Amino acid sequence: MPETILVSACLLGLPTRYDGSAKRNQAVLDWLAREKLIPVPVCPEQLAGLPTPREQTRFSRGDGRAVATGNGEVATFSGQSMNECFLRGAHITLRIARITGCQRALLKERSPSCGVHQIHCNDAMVAGVGVATALLIDAGVSVQSEEDLPVTGG
């Protein structure tokens, strides 16, 4: 039976990003096909009920792990705290992983929900994870970003 994997919906070409765009990534699509994986598209921010388009967000303190423990903050550029929404979307994403049997996830690097190695904090790009990524990792889901995929020759 083919394996399912959570995949950031924007990487699959769905217009789920804050500005209503997608980040369709052909290397991701090729890798999924080559590995015979069944993608389960997720956008934690949309799952939380946020509209698309929506105001851009970034961390103002900490990262996704810090938000999950009450010590960080993800906020809109205008300063509104989005912790509750991002945590709700992360929990729904984790529930989808469990329902669909996903043990792995391929998520969009630098996203405040899905970042795997880097996030935006204030005006800098820093090491850290997104809110959904933090919950998935803590639940034992193996998470990688599109930038972790092996480079193939063509």
Mean pLDDT by 10 residues, the chain (154 residues): 95 97 96 97 98 97 97 97 98 98 98 98 96 98 96 63
- Which sequence spans correspond to the domains of the chain? 3-148
Predicted pLDDT of residue 53? 97
Nearest to 5, CA basis, from 131, 129, 106, 93: 106
Question: Position of tokens 């092996």?
Answer: 150
Predicted pLDDT of residue 151? 76
Nearest to 47, CA basis, from 105, 103, 128, 114: 114
Identify the three-state secondary structure at position 40.
strand
| Confidence (pTM) | 0.95
Residue 65 in tokens: 């792990």
What is the Cα–Cα distance from 59 to 65, expressed in whole angstroms? 11
What is the per-residue burial (b if ≥16 Cβ within 10 Å, else e) of 98-135? eeeebebbbbbbbbbbbbbebbbbeeeeeebbbbbbbb
